[in-house]
């Protein structure tokens, strides 16, 4: 293979970086060393977005540059912090849940009524142009989500961006989409927002690239259609995750305003009135914003819910269930409340505990819907058989036709069986009628069962089944209670 010179263009903190001292025989590790010389970001802390191999293998440090898809004009992005920046953050944080945040003082709460700030919001509303990914749906409430530390840990080094996504993110978005149109509002540039959403699989990568191109065009011209869909004509649902939800609207740092806090000086905040004034189907009565920084909703404090920051993903990925808890709150208030301004989002956990019986009904409905979607479709279940004195977990594949399981192929051992779900339909009245083990050889067993749609379902365990207890308030004391 010829030793061909490679010319790479990257962006870091909004600044362009050119790497032209490497050849096709160099690898990703060599690239990171060159980036370290220019940025002082250690190779282990670097994440390079936009890299892809010709055969779609994972990009690792040993991957040679000749294996990458590098079209002319390809621009990559470097994410990472220097050791000095990391130490500064670690030394100034009193709590792992607090990132550049502070409690409001009484005078801060009144900032939303200050004439100067109201004028800033009015100017921002006039300058606003929508960045829409799809048409809004009639009758849906609005959920506004931050990215960094809310649904994504952008600081922790990792081999894949997906390792930094907050646990249960896709399930959270899928369930929220039933009741809400979803908007993303991050205090960064549109370029970074699209890069993160694309890498996380929240929007397809090709949509992110085309959206960025169309957004740049719109930024440079005055559009006559102030409510245009920038992704119009694109297939935004060809990604496996986006078949169950879609992002409706994206806002960035250009939509924010600066506010002067009493003790903390000038800070950028996110005034929801920018959305409400331009999209009147939404207002304080049907909008809720999740952000890990409380000050961001100082201009609309009743509409904000401060979510615990998601950091140190490599440590917390197995124990963070914040999104599973909060989706219950979103579902409940969407069903029960006509006016969100009557709620105190600071006490969302109390609200969830108060309506725990309603949650059980919702869980049963979700299971019924899940079972219905599985009818007449092949699906994969966890199953196994015992062999000698040991057991091994494996995959059991079953084929369902006309509500009957006609064959089950099992390899190794143990299975999860859920109790049958009650239904008023007469077709769901019977249970398993027969189960026959035909032969067993070593760790492989083939079984055949004839069942109806009311049988005990064998499938992957629902994440809801093992959630932590919900914390609720009992006479000003925190106690544990099962939801």
Burial 190-219, CB ≥16 within 10 A → b, else e: bbbbbbbbbbbbbbbbebbebbbebbeebe
**Is the pLDDT assigned to residue 270 strictly greater than 80?**
yes
Report the range of poorest mean pLDDT among 63-77, 307-321, 333-347.
63-77
Return the higher-pLDDT residue of 393 and 5. Answer: 5
Q: Give bridge partners of residue 184 from the DSSP assignment.
A: 145, 250
**What are φ and ψ of residue 197, in 5° steps?**
-65, -40
Domains of the chain listed by start with CATH number: 5-85 (3.10.20.90), 106-352 (3.40.50.1000), 375-463 (no CATH)
Helix (H) or strand (E) holding 332: helix 322-336
Residue 327: how many CB atoms within 10 A of its CB? 18
Q: Give bridge partners of residue 214 from the DSSP assignment.
A: none
What average pLDDT does the segment 143-162 reach? Answer: 90
Q: What is the pLDDT of residue 427?
A: 40
Model pLDDT for residues 96-122, shown as the tens digit of each residue: 444 455 555 555 667 888 899 999 999
Q: What is the pLDDT of residue 329?
A: 98
**Is the pLDDT assigned to residue 240 strictly greater than 70?**
no
What average pLDDT does the segment 398-419 reach? Answer: 38
Question: CA–CA separation, 331 vs 457, rounded Å?
Answer: 25
- Range picked from 62-76, 235-249, 285-299, 366-380 for highest mean pLDDT: 285-299
CA 241 to chain centre: 10
Q: What is the pLDDT of residue 472?
A: 40
Q: Confidence class of residue 156 from pLDDT cuts 50, 70 and 90?
A: confident
What average pLDDT does the segment 208-236 reach? Answer: 57
CA dihedral 156, 159, 163, 164 (to 10 degrees): 30
Model pLDDT for residues 444-474, shown as the tens digit of each residue: 433 333 333 333 333 444 445 444 443 444 3
Instruction: Output the average pLDDT for the chain.
Output: 75
Model pLDDT for residues 243-259, shown as the tens digit of each residue: 699 999 999 999 999 99
Return the SS3 of 195. helix
Question: CA–CA separation, 264 vs 104, rounded Å?
Answer: 10
Q: What is the pLDDT of residue 108?
A: 62
Total residues belonging to the chain: 483
Q: What is the pLDDT of residue 479?
A: 37
Q: What is the pLDDT of residue 207?
A: 79
Model pLDDT for residues 7-60, shown as the tens digit of each residue: 888 888 878 899 989 988 999 999 999 999 999 889 988 888 888 888 888 888
Helices (H) and strands (E) in the chain, counts: 12, 20
Q: What is the pLDDT of residue 77?
A: 86
Question: CA–CA separation, 469 vs 266, rounded Å?
Answer: 39
Q: What is the pLDDT of residue 91?
A: 56
Q: Confidence class of residue 210 from pLDDT cuts 50, 70 and 90?
A: confident
Residue 411: how many CB atoms within 10 A of its CB? 17
Q: Give the DSSP letter of residue 57.
A: P
What average pLDDT does the segment 91-98 reach? Answer: 45
Question: CA–CA separation, 394 vs 225, rounded Å?
Answer: 55
Residue 479: how many CB atoms within 10 A of its CB? 11
Q: What is the pTM of this model?
A: 0.60
**What are φ and ψ of residue 462, in 5° steps?**
-70, 135
Q: What is the pLDDT of residue 395?
A: 37
What average pLDDT does the segment 153-159 reach? Answer: 83
**Cα dihedral 116, 118, 119, 121 sign:** positive
CB half-sphere exposure, 271, CA atoms < 13 A: 26
With CA atoms as reference, report the closest residue to 312 among 171, 154, 192, 482: 154
* 47 close to 79: Cβ distance less than 8 angstroms: yes
* 164 close to 279: Cβ distance less than 8 angstroms: no
């Amino acid at each position: 293979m010829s030793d061909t010179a490679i010319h790479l263009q990257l962006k870091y903190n909004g600044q362009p970086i050119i790497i032209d001292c490497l050849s096709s025989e160099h690898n990703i590790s060599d690239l990171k060393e060159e980036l370290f010389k220019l940025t002082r970001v250690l190779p282990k802390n670097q994440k390079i977005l936009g890299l892809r191999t010709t055969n779609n293998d994972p990009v690792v440090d040993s991957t040679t540059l000749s294996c990458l898809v590098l079209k002319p004009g390809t621009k990559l992005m470097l994410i990472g912090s220097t050791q000095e920046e990391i130490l500064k953050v670690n030394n100034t944080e009193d709590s792992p849940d607090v990132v550049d945040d502070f409690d409001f003082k009484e005078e801060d709460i009144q900032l939303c009524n200050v004439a100067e700030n109201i004028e800033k919001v009015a100017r921002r509303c006039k300058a606003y142009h929508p960045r829409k990914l799809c048409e809004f749906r009639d009758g849906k409430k609005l959920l506004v989500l931050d990215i960094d530390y809310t649904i994504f840990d952008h600081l922790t080094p990792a081999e894949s961006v997906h390792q930094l996504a907050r646990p249960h993110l896709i399930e959270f978005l899928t369930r929220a989409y039933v009741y809400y149109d979803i908007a993303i509002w991050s205090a960064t540039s549109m370029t970074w927002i699209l890069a993160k959403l694309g890498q996380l699989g929240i929007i397809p990568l090709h949509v992110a690239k085309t959206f960025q191109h169309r957004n740049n065009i719109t930024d440079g011209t005055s559009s006559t259609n102030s409510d245009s869909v920038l992704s119009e004509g694109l297939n935004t649902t060809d990604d496996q995750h986006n078949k169950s939800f879609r992002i409706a609207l994206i806002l960035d740092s250009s939509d924010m305003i600066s506010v002067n806090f009493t003790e903390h000086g000038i800070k950028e905040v996110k005034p929801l009135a920018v959305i409400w004034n331009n999209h009147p189907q939404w207002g304080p009565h049907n909008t809720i914003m999740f952000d890990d920084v409380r000050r961001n909703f100082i201009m609309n404090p009743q509409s904000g819910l401060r979510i615990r920051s998601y950091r140190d993903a490599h440590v917390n990925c197995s124990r963070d269930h914040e999104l599973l808890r909060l989706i219950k709150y979103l579902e409940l208030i969407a069903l029960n409340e006509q006016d969100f301004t009557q709620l105190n989002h600071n006490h969302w956990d109390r609200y969830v505990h108060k309506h725990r019986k309603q949650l059980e009904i919702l869980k049963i409905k979700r299971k019924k819907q899940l079972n219905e979607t599985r009818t007449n479709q092949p699906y994969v279940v966890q199953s196994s058989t015992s062999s000698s004195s040991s057991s091994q977990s494996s995959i059991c594949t079953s084929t369902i036709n006309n509500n009957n399981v006609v064959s089950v192929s099992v390899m190794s051992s143990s299975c999860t069986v859920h109790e049958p779900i009650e239904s008023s339909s007469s077709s769901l009245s019977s249970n398993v009628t027969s189960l026959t083990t035909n032969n067993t050889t070593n760790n492989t067993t083939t079984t055949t069962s004839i069942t109806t749609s009311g049988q005990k379902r064998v499938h992957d365990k629902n994440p809801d089944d093992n959630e932590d207890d919900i914390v609720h308030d009992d006479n000003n004391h925190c106690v544990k209670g099962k939801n």
